Amino acid sequence: MANCVITIARGFGSGGRTIGKLLAQRLDIDYYNDDLIKLASEESGINIELFGKADERVKTNLFKRYKRSYGEWTIPPDSELFVSDDNLFNYQAKIIKALADKSDCVIIGRCADYILRERENVARILIYADDDTCMKHVTELYGMRPAEAAKKIETLDKARANYYKYYTGNEWDDPRNYDLCLNTSGMDFEKAVDIICDYLDRMDMIKK
């Protein structure tokens, strides 16, 4: 059986990151989030700060066509486009594929669901929540005032949606992109993990 890979797309404040980490701990498998940037930087030799600035954001005109590679090829260092956002994305996609080959894992965001779309044993999950739940999580976690939290949620979700649209051609919040969509409004994170584990078990994706 191919490695079990769980990709998690998440709305800001929905708890997707925390749920992904708890899920990886429950299943005793690897977890990748911000460390994807570090790994891509090490692979390419490009300064990690450039990856950070382009992380799940796209500055390119959304109407411009992205030459899709998804890690199959990357631009060489002698090119003026070596540190372009598209090349940074391709290095990250290359890392995502390598990690999926390496072991069972949970991968947060970065279009991983689409990058791994043709692979077997990949569970593509979307975590979302209503406005009140997201506001509650963001204000408690980051100590923001409600108005500041609302603006942060709107800004990050829009950036993630544009990033996903540019690099996949699809809408980020379209349920047809995912195998399981989970509304965490008012839900305990451990309960969310229970639901995901039950899904993985019913789909016979967990190695026993």
Task: Quick: pLDDT tens for 60-116.
Answer: 665 566 667 777 778 677 777 787 888 889 999 999 999 999 999 999 999 999 999
Instruction: Tell me which amino acid residue 181 is.
Output: C
Share of the chain above pLDDT 70, in %: 94
pLDDT (tens digit per residue) in 11-54: 999 999 999 999 999 999 999 999 998 998 898 898 888 888 88
Instruction: Give me the percent of the chain exceeding a pLDDT of 90.
Output: 72
User: What's the pLDDT score for residue 65?
Assistant: 63
148/53: higher pLDDT: 148
Question: At residue 161, what are phi and psi to the nearest 5 degrees?
Answer: -65, -45
Name the least confident of 7-21, 39-53, 129-143, 193-207: 39-53
Mention the CATH class of domain 5-197. Answer: alpha beta
Q: Mean pLDDT in the chain?
A: 91
Give the per-residue pLDDT at 66: 65
- Which of 181, 176, 143, 196 minimizes the C-alpha distance to 10? 181
Question: What average pLDDT does the segment 120-133 reach?
Answer: 97
Sorted by where each begins, the domain ranges of the chain are 5-197
- pLDDT for 113 equals 98
Residue 138's pLDDT is what? 96
pLDDT score at 189: 97
Tell me what pLDDT residue 85 has.
84
